[in-house]
């Protein structure tokens, strides 16, 4: 089980790190790289084209502003690609979100919320769980634990009023 996380800039790392932490908590191996769709396009494309041969099963692309990285990766790879739009100094990340989500027909990129790194990691785990039943079991436990926490908070609020 291996997921590649590509970020367009090292300034994206504080957001991407949350994704890495989620994946590692599920026991998924992570490869993290800084590869730009604009500044290192040939390297990014070569990485994506070799990803499957290198054992990668899902690619996550994090990018801000023009945010072309996930789309470029999806254009040259048949692996599932998840985009994380990074909040930038302009438009609060809306520009990034629209750049990633508005892909042309035939080039899908699953897209999470602006700075939604945790959900990108969880979506990658769910995609991998189709092949790895142990991940499906861990995801079920994760969701049950989330529900328990919410119900505990509900009981705490109810007891106050």
- In the chain, pLDDT over 70 holds for what percent of residues? 100
> The domain 2-128: what is its CATH number?
3.40.50.1970
Q: How far apart, in Å, are the Cα atoms of 22 and each of 38, 84, 114, 151?
A: 28, 14, 17, 23
At residue 88, the pLDDT reads: 84
The string of pLDDT tens digits covering residues 111-139 is 999 999 999 999 999 999 999 999 999 99
Q: DSSP letter for 133, please.
A: H
Order of all β-strands in the sheet with 2-7: 29-34, 2-7, 58-64, 81-86, 110-111
Domain regions of the chain by residue span: 2-128, 134-161
Q: What is the average pLDDT score of the chain?
A: 96
Predicted structure pTM score? 0.94
The string of pLDDT tens digits covering residues 2-31 is 999 999 999 999 999 999 999 999 999 999
The string of pLDDT tens digits covering residues 28-51 is 999 999 999 999 999 999 999 999
């Amino acid at each position: 089980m291996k997921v590649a996380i590509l970020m367009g800039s090292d300034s994206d790392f504080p957001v991407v790190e949350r994704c890495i932490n989620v994946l590692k908590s599920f026991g998924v191996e992570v490869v993290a790289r800084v590869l730009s769709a604009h500044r290192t396009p040939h390297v990014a494309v070569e990485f994506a084209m070799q990803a499957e041969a290198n054992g990668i099963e899902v690619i996550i692309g994090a990018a801000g502003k023009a945010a072309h990285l996930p789309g470029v990766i999806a254009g040259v790879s048949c692996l599932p690609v998840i985009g994380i739009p990074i909040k930038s100094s302009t438009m609060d990340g809306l520009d990034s979100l629209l750049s990633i989500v508005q892909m042309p027909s035939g080039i899908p990129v699953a897209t999470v919320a602006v700075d939604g790194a945790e959900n990108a990691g969880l979506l990658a785990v769910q995609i991998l769980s189709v092949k790895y039943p142990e991940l499906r079991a861990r995801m079920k436990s994760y969701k049950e634990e989330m529900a328990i926490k919410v119900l505990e908070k509900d009981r705490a609020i109810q007891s106050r009023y």
